[in-house]
């Protein structure tokens, strides 16, 4: 998956628990993204970053937080897990708008 | 705001038949358009993209797509389906401005019958 790694691959959380989804890239791209994929809904943007120290909300940011202290890492934090956050989470990286956006293999999260 | 519409959440074809997956977009600026494929329990893999230049774009695995500005379409085709083409396909447009994120369609699941 073109230099984007995500951990863990799968996780089960209880309601109210917290966790951090990790995303690391080795392609030195400035742009990094977090999407969630729900069945029949495509992918929706949660948060994005245009460089270290810069983050902003996407379409569905509620219940999540991010940070970007380095170019390589863009962790996604769930503070109080809810069943509505059951989804598959993909991290994406990209350069200029003309360049391809690459994705990690995804993290499957189940909140019970 | 930009948006992407994929007609047909599920398309079924016979092996060897033409594959046609439809995608229409709305964009107020010249679009950058992408098709991604997702095999079961895997991530997204780029099939092809249109940025500028030739409107007929060839991708991997024998797929191609044609950008038609007048129809705001970017349909994906393959002359002869193979069993290995069974997957979910997503059309996406690149958001303008500083964000650069992708706006995805809801996806089309392609089944290939023997």
CA distance B34 to chain A (A): 8
Instruction: Give the highest mean pLDDT range of A35-44, A73-82, B1-10, B35-44.
Output: A73-82
pLDDT at residue B27, as a whole number: 78
Residue of A nearest to B96 (CA): A97
Residue B94: closest CA among B52, B37, B43: B52
Is A105 in Cβ contact with B42 (below 8 Å)? yes
**For residue B54, what pLDDT band results from cuts at 50, 70 and 90?**
confident
pLDDT at A95: 76
Q: Is A39 on the interface with B (CB under 8 A)?
A: no
Top mean pLDDT of A94-103, B10-19, B94-103 is at B10-19
Element (H, E) at B65: strand B64-68
Are the Cβ atoms of A96 and B94 closer than 8 angstroms? Answer: no
Mean pLDDT of B93-110: 84
What per-residue confidence (pLDDT) applies to B101? 83
How many angstroms separate the CA atoms of A58 and A35, rounded? 9
Nearest-CB residue to B100 (from A40, A42, A94)? A94
Are B32 and A106 within 8 A, CB to CB?
no
Q: Which of A33, A97, A106 sits opposite B32 (nearest CB)?
A: A97
Q: How confident is the model at residue A107 (pLDDT cuts 50, 70, 90)?
A: very high
Question: Chain B within 8 Å of A94 (Cβ-Cβ)?
Answer: yes
**Whole-angstrom distance, CA of residue A60 vs CA of residue A44:** 7
């Amino acid at each position: 998956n073109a230099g984007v790694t995500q951990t863990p691959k799968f996780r089960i959380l209880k309601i109210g628990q917290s966790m951090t989804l990790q995303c690391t890239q080795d392609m030195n791209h400035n742009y990094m993204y977090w999407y969630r994929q729900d069945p029949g809904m495509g992918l929706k943007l949660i948060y994005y970053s245009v460089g270290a120290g810069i983050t902003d909300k996407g379409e569905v940011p509620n219940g999540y937080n991010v940070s970007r202290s380095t170019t390589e890492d863009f962790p996604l934090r769930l503070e109080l897990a809810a069943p509505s956050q059951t989804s598959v989470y993909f991290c994406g990286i990209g350069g200029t708008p003309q360049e391809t956006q690459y994705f990690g293999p995804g993290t499957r999260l189940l909140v019970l | 705001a930009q948006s992407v519409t994929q007609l047909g959440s599920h398309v079924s074809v016979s092996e060897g038949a033409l594959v046609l997956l439809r995608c229409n977009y709305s964009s107020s600026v010249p679009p950058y358009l992408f098709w991604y494929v997702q095999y079961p329990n895997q991530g997204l893999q780029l099939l092809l993209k249109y940025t500028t230049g030739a409107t007929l774009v060839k991708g991997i695995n024998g797929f191609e797509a044609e950008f038609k500005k007048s129809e705001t379409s970017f349909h994906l085709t393959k002359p002869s389906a193979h069993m290995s083409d069974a997957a979910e396909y997503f059309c996406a447009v690149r958001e303008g401005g500083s964000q650069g994120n992708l706006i995805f369609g809801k996806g089309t699941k392609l089944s290939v019958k023997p």
